[in-house]
Every structure is written in C-alpha cells, then in structure tokens.
Copies of this chain bind each other. A is one copy, B any other.
Amino acid sequence: MNDIKKLQTLINTHISENPYQQSPAELYEPINYLMSLGGKRMRPVLVLSGCDLFNGNIEASLDAAIAIETFHNFTLMHDDIMDKAPLRRGNSTVHEKWNESVAILSGDVMLVKAYQLLMNYKNDELRKILEIFNRTAVEVCEGQQIDMNFEQRRDVTIDQYLQMISLKTAVLLGASLQIGAVIAGAETSDHQRLYEFGRNMGIAFQLQDDLLDAFGDPEKFGKQVGGDIIANKKTYLLIKALELAQEDDKTTLDYWLQKHVFIAEEKVSEVKKIFESLHVKELIKEEIDRHAEKAFEFLSQVNASPGKKDALKNFALDLLQREH
C-alpha cells in the first residue's frame, strides 16, 4: 500500500495541473473552483488504493479516480442548491458565488465530464467500470431524495436510515475501491468483496459523522457542534432516541422538536441530555463497530497481500478515529 498522503498529493497535483480552460467561463470556472477546495479526497484515494491492492498500475487508475471525484463534486454542487447551503469547506457555495442556474448547469456538465474521463479505458474495462458507475450514480441520487423525504417524516426506522446512508454516501466508497480493483484486473469475487468492505466502512463513517456532530470536541470539529440537533435532522441518534424515549424524555424531546423559536445552545444541551440518558451514544458506537467489523470481515476474504490489506484497514481505522 502506498502511503495515503502520497496518493492524496497525486490527486491534488493532478487536479491543480489540469484545470478546465474551455469557455464559457460560467460553466467551467465553478468546476475548477469547487474541485480546488480540497477535502480528504477519500474517494479518489480509494480508487488508487483499490488498484494498488491488486498490484495494478496506480497511474492507470488516475483518470477513474478523477472521474469519481468529479462525480462527487457534482453531487455536492447540486446538493448545496437543494440544502440552500451558503458554505462548502469554509468557502461560498457555487450557487452563492455565481447563481443557481450556473450551479445547476455547471454541475450537469461535470457529470458528463466524469463520463468523458472514463472513456480513457479500453473496451472491456470501460463496460465494467460504467456498469458500476451508472448503478452507483443512480443510487446516490435515490439516497439524496430519500434523505429529503425523511425531513417530512417522523416514523423513519433505523433500518430505513441505514439503507438511506448506504445509498447516499456508502455505495460510492465501495464503488471507488471496486473500480480501482477492476482496473488492476482483480477477480470479480474479489472486487465485490472489496466493494462490500467500502460500503460497510462508508456506513460506519457516516454514523461517526452523526456522533461527532452531536458529541464532537467543538475545537476540533471545525463546524458548529449540534447542527443536526438544531435542524431536527433525522440522524441515527434522533431516530433511536425517538424509538426509545418514554414519558418525560418523550415529552421533552417532542417539546424541542416542535419548538420553532429557541436558543440553539439550550436546545443542543437539552437534547444531548436525553441522548445520554437513553444511551444512544453507546448504541451508535456499537452500530459503528458492527459495520466496521463486517467491513473488515469482507476485507479479510479478499485475495491480496496481507500487508496491503492491513494498510487499507489502518487507513479506515484512522478515519474512524478522527475527531473532525
């Protein structure tokens, strides 16, 4: 396994050295802007890692890695419009910096550009990659719509929530690894196991995000702690609390969910008290562990060098232990 930092650098260098320079500028500048805001580059790193795991040529998987990162940023550009988000990674979102029409259209062209990057693979590879990519792209859209539908519902179950985050977030991590493995020429059974490793880790990462949003260290978290609580977002914590709360806890929880005018710190503090009294913090940690263990079980069955598999496992564990 190549050092993860080296893979991140490879991705960042490639993105900064290959900006879109076509016109009209309103279509291409937002792509360069959003792509250059950085982030952990988790998905493209997973493409390169999936390729390296089977001793593939990392350079050969770079176009697919950039395609996946382009696709991911397309979803961010459109999601930010839908969420009316003013900021992305501490900077103005595209619809704020330009306008909504630009964000819609520039996002559309990004999706096509992702497909164009995949055209650099030869026929048999291309078909396999496109089948994974298309299926995943549809699932990510479905996940986003289901997440929006949850805002209007109070009866979301934990199973439905896990299914939603699998679609919205986790399948793309699985697909990234799987596409890298396909490029390296891995056996179908192996790249499918690797996909399930990535998907289960993706669910664990999202649950970790839910946990950090409520219980993260404000100094390390980098954004407002309790944002999900303030917005009544149906996360694992809230869904579980609604499922378990009885009598006084239920009354207090209902009170805060229905209150339109409140002091943010007070709501966050009161709802967190209920989360603690119902032990949902412990329950989410168990859920995270279950998915991580399931992921590692799939990884252990992949036919690849134990050293490289350990490096991938350690990368995943590092991400799970992050505090922001």
Q: Which residues of A contact B (CB under 8 A)?
A: 22-24, 26-27, 78, 81-82, 100-102, 104-105, 107-109, 111-113, 115-116, 119, 123-124, 126-127, 130-131, 134, 137-138, 141-142, 144-146, 148-149
Q: How far is the CA of A22 from the CA of B135 in the complex (A)?
A: 13
Interface of A is mostly: helix
A26 vs B145: C-alpha distance in the bound complex, in angstroms?
7
Q: Which chain B residues border A123 with CB–CB below 8 Å?
A: 123-124, 126-127
Distance to closest chain B CB from A91 (angstroms): 21
Stoichiometry, copies per complex: 2
Minimum Cβ distance to chain B for residue A64 (Å): 15
Determine whether the beta carbon of A104 is less than 8 Å from that of B127: no
A and B contact pairs by CB, cutoff 8 A, 13 listed:
A24-B149, A78-B105, A82-B100, A82-B101, A82-B104, A104-B104, A109-B137, A111-B111, A112-B138, A113-B138, A116-B138, A119-B127, A123-B123
B-chain residues with CB within 8 Å of residue A108 when the two chains form the complex: 78, 107-108, 111, 141
Residues of B near A137 (CB, < 8 A) are 109, 112
Q: Are B24 and A142 in contact (CB under 8 A)?
A: yes
Q: Are A141 and B82 in contact (CB under 8 A)?
A: no
Shortest Cβ distance from A174 into chain B, in angstroms? 17
Residue contact B81 to A104, C-beta cutoff 8 Å: yes
Residues A134 and B105 in contact, CB atoms below 8 Å apart = no
Cβ B149 vs Cβ A134 within 8 A: no
A143 → chain B, closest Cβ, in Å? Answer: 9
- Minimal beta-carbon separation of A26 from chain B (angstroms): 5
Q: Are B109 and A119 in contact, with the CB atoms below 8 A?
A: no
Instruction: Name the distance in Å between A282's Cβ and chain B's nearest Cβ.
Output: 32
